[in-house]
Amino acid sequence: MAGSWARRVWSLLEPVHDVTYFAAAARRHADRLGLAGFWAQYVVQRAAPMGAVNAHLATAAFYGFHHDRLAQTLPAAWSVTTPAKALEARLAGAGAALTEIWGEDVVVSDRVVRAADLAWEAAMAADCAGRVLGASNQALPRPSRAHLALWQAATPLREHRDDGHIAVLVAEAVRPIESHLIKVAATEADAESLRLGRKFSVDAWQGGVEGLRARGLLDPDARLTAAGKGLHERIEDATDEAAEQPWGTLGEAGCAELVDLLAAPATAVFDAGILPMPSPVGLVAEDRR
């Protein structure tokens, strides 16, 4: 099954997960944590499954962010709120957002109940050895309501994938800033929004460009060379392969059923217009069709 389901299911589960950061209903719950601004709420909610970690550990786990982005929030945020409160807020916020997008009837529908069961089975089967964010989210209990269970299952699965992606980048000697530049050069993300969001300086960004040029991966116009395209393809293929293991648990029939069940809910999230496009994680709206 290598490479057959990992990307397809991710493209449908990722938008379900992402409502926790971008939907207004979710942000209202995050506001109650007493943290100012999008990035403080993002950092705390994403880091919370690991406990009251410091910025150094969170930077290592997140990989794609400059240390300063996380150090603006951690560890000071833990004097304002707690990991338990952050986890409560993100689950409540995700539930409110999905209810608002899908409607009261859908969140209790047989479709969502079955999708939650399948996704939960895969999430609990994921081998998270060496995958800190995947493991810490996998350890959280299953919510009783189906749409919350679906969101909760989507979260360790996407973090399991991201942990594997980071391992691939490290193996290919691609530094965090270079990973973004490769994604930009592949026309999968917007350069300035990535640079600002991840808090890299203009000089550091340009230094990353020059480093990739020196390796023969970018041309003078910052486009991928043949070698750069080859590296990008290897990274994506290896990421998919590293993310495949949980889906083997469901088998071909289970994966196909989950894809079918998620198609309409994922499309509804895209159609709500809450997700930034181009996506900072390379999510493409057309992938959900």
Q: What is the pLDDT of residues 153-165, one digit of tens each?
A: 999 999 999 999 9
Question: Residue 1: pLDDT above 50?
Answer: no
Q: Where are the domains of the chain?
A: 6-170+236-272
pLDDT (average), residues 61-70: 97
Torsion angle, CA of 63/239/159/60, rounded to 10 degrees?
-20
According to DSSP, the residues that pair with 218 across neighbouring strands are: 224
Q: Are 180 and 143 in contact (CB under 8 A)?
A: no
pLDDT (average), residues 187-209: 95
pLDDT (average), residues 59-65: 97
Query: How far apart are the C-alpha atoms of 244 and 8, rounded to whole Å?
Result: 11
Question: Residue 213: pLDDT above 70?
Answer: yes
Mean pLDDT of the residues in the chain = 95
- With a pLDDT cut of 90, the percent of the chain lying above it is 93
pLDDT the model gives residue 101: 98
pLDDT (average), residues 104-125: 98
Token digits of residue 148: 């919350």
- In the chain, % helix, strand, coil (3-state, to 5) comes to 70, 0, 30
Asked if the peptide bond before residue 220 counts as cis, ω within 30 degrees of 0, the response is no
Token digits of residue 174: 């691609």
pLDDT the model gives residue 289: 47
The single-letter code of the amino acid at 127 is D
The single-letter code of the amino acid at 104 is E
Question: Residue 286: pLDDT above 80?
Answer: no
Question: Residue 231: pLDDT above 80?
Answer: yes
How many other C-beta atoms are found inside a 10 Å radius of the C-beta of residue 284?
A: 12
Largest CA distance in the chain: 56
Question: Residue 70: pLDDT above 50?
Answer: yes
Q: 183: closest CA among 284, 281, 66, 61? A: 281
pLDDT (average), residues 153-179: 98
Question: Residue 282: pLDDT above 80?
Answer: no
Tell me if residue 284 falls in helix, strand or coil: coil
pLDDT the model gives residue 285: 62
